[in-house]
Amino acid sequence: MDNLTEQLKRIRQRFEDNELTVEDIDLALGLAREDCTVREASAELKQSLLYLHAPTTNPHSAVVGISIYEDGADSDGLDENGDFRYRSIKEALDDGWRIIKFPEASLAMNEQDNYGLGYEFVLERWR
């Protein structure tokens, strides 16, 4: 089966699971346009990184720190009102971000020894 067919099947499944992203469609367009491999199509896209800090490893816990590297620039991750763009890890996942690094559980916070901003999740998306 060729790469485009595989990607179209993946798109259909992600659509049925209500998880389809623009990146999925862009990848298929790249495959169709140039009849290239998935790796070559991905090379046309740019990676964005999102760093989210939370007090627990639960994806629904509130974000306590955020940083975004997008379009070649660092951002503090705040919206026009000065609020975090994402209030939880789950909210970022729902917006098309994918976790590429889970936090180190060995750095668990407790009330007496509170180092840093808690658990750091690193997420990415391609555009």
- Predicted TM-score (pTM) of this structure: 0.62
**H-helix or E-strand spanning residue 25:** helix 22-34
Query: Which helix (H) or strand (E) covers residue 53, if one does?
Result: strand 47-54
Do 61 and 18 reside in the same domain of the chain?
no
Handedness of CA 85, 91, 94, 100 (dihedral sign): positive
Q: How far apart are the C-alpha atoms of 127 and 123, rounded to whole Å? A: 14
pLDDT value at position 83? 93
H/E stretch holding 120 = strand 119-126
Q: Which of 64, 80, 70, 78 is nearest to 50 (CA)?
A: 70
Q: Residues 71, 97: one domain?
A: yes
Does 20 have pLDDT greater than 60? yes
Q: Are 22 and 29 in contact (CB under 8 A)?
A: no
Nearest Cα to Cα of residue 47 among 75, 78, 74, 71: 71
pLDDT digits (tens, 9 = 90+) for 75-121: 888 988 999 999 999 999 999 899 999 987 765 656 555 556 678 99
Residue 94 shares a structural domain with residue 75: yes
pLDDT tens digits along 39-80? 555 556 788 999 999 988 888 989 999 999 988 888 888 988
Amino acid identity at 115: Y
Clarify whether residues 55 and 92 are in a common domain. Answer: yes
Higher-pLDDT residue of 34 and 37 is 34
Q: pLDDT (tens digit, 9 = 90+) per residue, 21-32?
A: 888 888 888 777
Q: Mark whether 59 and 35 lie in a shared domain.
A: no
